[in-house]
Structure 1
Amino acid sequence: MDATDDKSGSSGALHVAMVAPPWYDIPPRGYGGIESMTADLVLGLTRRGHRVTLIGAGDGVDLRTYEQPPSERIGDPIPEVAHAAKADRFLEGLRADVIHDHSLAGPLGARGRSAPTVVTCHGPVTGDMGEFYRALSTTVALVALSWAQRAHAPDLNWAGRVHNAVAVDTFPFVDRKEDWVLWLGRFHPDKGAHLAIEAARAAGRRILLAGKQSEDVERVYFEKEVKPLLGPGAEYLGEADAGLKRELLSRARCLVFPLQWEEPFGMIMIEAMACGTPVVALKRGSVPELVVDGVTGFVRDEPPELPSAIEAAGELDPAAARAHVARHFDVSVMVEGYERVYRKVISSAEVRKPRHLLPVAADLS
């Protein structure tokens, strides 16, 4: 069942303990998709009358595990584990109705808590991560970001599916686009920046690229695959903060998104469409769930099909893309989805007391 379709239990304020990852401020100053989503969810829940205690690192949190987020140590397990241990101590002193954990190691402390724990799966649910979530199946309830993600591991203890969202009114709508195209994200092989450059060149269009390359894999990929392609018609702008990101997304002819993995959700796609900018993407992961082919962008099977789609993108109606995001991916829609997940999980835990550590019933409809 889609959490956004579950109408059970729709009244009464909740106290939600929200655990963010430790890597960036909330909201993030630049890159930080999970942190951005968490900030929007906290604000949306608060506006609907719920109490939220946010646990995280740096600025913008109620209970701080690190004074400064250890961003430069991403990939090092110690900050993640230390963050989880500190968060667990904070949670001991809270009388929360539900704990919503967005971190990796945090869910390890769910066993024995009086409040149920909801975990949003922000990354893969196959391989090692799939085994991790299976090992936690008796202690946490999982939320998928897309049907595509959930389909990769239908046996996990899913409590629902809730798409990520954006505050649409914070993204500028521009109906007259410029003639260049945009790639924006993190410079990782999975994101296909080199394919975006090749597609733009084949279409005879200038491309601007912006994104982070702070991790080793990102720096190696940028130096080996992206940098040699830069030059006339392909310009790297550095990492984009929130302001520059919105400026670029709103002005571009289209966002080129040649995804190379089964990404569970691509925030940059709904951000682009919120600005009225169509998305030209490859058919991987959640792309077909987010982009309406021929209306808000074009979804193609192979890289050689991208240049013609880049050309055709200029004929799409920017207002249609904006309206699509407002209807399906605004923060209000996400907040309502999580409210229903929380109430469902709380209700399941109440029914099982005092044996509340048994698994939440999997939602496989």
Structure 2
Amino acid sequence: MRILIVAPPWYDVPPQGYGGIESMVAGLVAGLTRRGHDVTLIGAGPAGTSACFLSTYGRAPSERIGEPLPEVLHAARAYAMTSKLVVDVIHDHTLAGPLTAPAQAAPTVLTCHGEVVGEFGEYYRVLGATVSMVAISEAQRRIAPDLNWAGVVHNAVDVAVFPFRERKEDWVLWLGRFNEDKGAHLAIDAARAAGRRILLAGKLTEKAEHDYFDEHVKPRLGPDAEYVGEADTARKHELLGAARCLIFPILWEEPFGMVMIEAMACGTPVVALCRGAVPEVIVDGVTGFIRGAPAELPAAIEATGALDPNACRSRVERFFGVEVMARSYEAIYRRAIAGLPKRTGENGRGGFGESRDLAMPVN
């Protein structure tokens, strides 16, 4: 197939540091290319994958994340580029890009990487049958079952690039962006209660992140709780491989959580609160521990010392490798292509309308 993938504009693909969606996109490009497909990638910054690359920004506007205009301009530039290409399917990972789906010659598959409630849910309902939506977990799809879901495909990593380490050090790791829903403050409290040192590495660029950090994280820092900055790829791999465990005390219905499979790929178990997709990723008592309340986390941190790092790595290889993800998306692309032509409105052009049933078996 001739596949066009549209990445968000905020980070390079693959990212140099933070960027879960961009990491997933880079893996998908690699997997699809290895399977013989002709892949074109639209993104920001320099080329970094095996795909033919079209850039909307010479440098990714990372410092402007959260502003609407870079996202809208990226979508407009991507549409202008797409109109000159001949492709079989468009796979969009952006928020604004799917607005152009009714005008595209090829069907649009949309992976939903974030929330599906509130205004986000209403937006996807209005898009209707103009896009075939893909959930990144069953948990995400259950929240809004009426959306035009084409299937569920878990995110994945290229396991080979993650260094496996069997012998661990005695400290705990928290890795993510500094948002209250990610629970960095709970991670510090749990590690301290367990008598373990904790390192925190994460994105700290937006005002809301600084506000949360200053109020809830900074006062908790000390000799046993250290913020080490936003780790680049090499540093992230080093931290994930060496940690006793990754702690993932989320306070929202996280639709996936890439850092969990990144840690497990390094042989590092995950201790998490039971929210969102956590039970789909972690095997409790095998690749980590799933707990219902923050008070249960310290004991779980201690118990990770008895888990087998090889089981963590094997789980990712079997269920969260890029080849698994690429095969699953292949099937969804073919269904979307077979569903052409789009439904049309009274004006004869593809328009927003009633959803079609594109249900697919999940992987």
TM > 0.5? yes
Shift of 1:114: 1.6
- Counterpart position of 1:293: 284
**Separation in 2 of the partners of 1:362 and 1:58?**
34
Q: 2:74 aligns with which of 63, 78, 83?
A: 83
The normalised TM-score by structure 2 is: 0.94
Q: Return the offset for 1:349.
A: 1.5
Residue 167 of structure 2 aligns to a residue in which SS? coil
2:2 corresponds to which residue?
15
Matches within 5 A, 1:188-337: 188-337=179-328
Structure 1 residues 338, 228: closer, same or farther in 2, change over 3 A? same
Q: What residue in structure 2 maps to residue 149 of structure 1?
A: 140
Match of 2:17?
30
Distance of 1:247 and 1:360 partners within structure 2 = 46
Taking only aligned residues, the RMSD between alpha carbons, in angstroms, comes to 1.6
Gaps of 5+ in 2: none
1: CA distance, partners of 2:136 / 2:161: 22
Q: Within the alignment, does 1:136 sit opposite 2:127 as a pair?
A: yes
CA–CA distance in structure 1, aligned partners of residues 350 and 151 of structure 2: 19
Q: Which SS does the other structure have where 1:137 is aligned?
A: helix
Conserved 8 A contact 1:168-1:326: yes
Aligned partners of 2:356, 2:87: CA distance in 1, in Å?
Answer: 18
**What aligned pairs does 1:52-67 form with structure 2 within 5 A after superposition?**
52-60=39-47, 62-67=53-58
TM-score, with structure 1 as normaliser: 0.94
Aligned partners of 2:190 and 2:318: how far apart in 1?
A: 31
In 2, distance between residues paired with 1:318 and 1:327? Answer: 15
Distance 2:360 2:24 in 1: 25
Residue 245 (structure 1) shift: 0.5
**Cα 1:146/1:322, change in 2 over 3 Å:** same
1:276-299 CA-partner distances (Å, limit 9, x unpaired): 100000000000000000000000
In structure 2, give the amino acid aligned to 1:122.
H
Q: How does 1:341-356 map to 2 (within 5 A)?
A: 341-349=332-340
1:45 aligns with 2:44: no
Q: Give 2:43's aligned amino acid.
A: G
Deviations 1:157-207 (A, max 9, x none): 000000000011111111111111110111111100010000000000011
Equivalent-residue separation in structure 2 for 1:249 and 1:239 (angstroms): 13
Give the Å deviation of 1:356: 7.0
The amino acid of 2:35's aligned partner reads R
Distance 1:258 1:310 in 2: 12
| Shift of residue 364, structure 1, vs aligned partner | 7.4
- Structure 1: give runs of 5+ residues left out of the alignment: 1-13
With over 3 angstroms needed to count, the CA separation of the structure-2 counterparts of 1:47 and 1:204, relative to structure 1, is same
User: Displacement, 1:360?
Assistant: 4.0
Amino-acid identity (%) = 64
State the 4+ residue runs in structure 1 displaced beyond 3 angstroms: 350-360
Asked if the contact 2:13/2:22 (under 8 Å) is kept, the reply is: yes
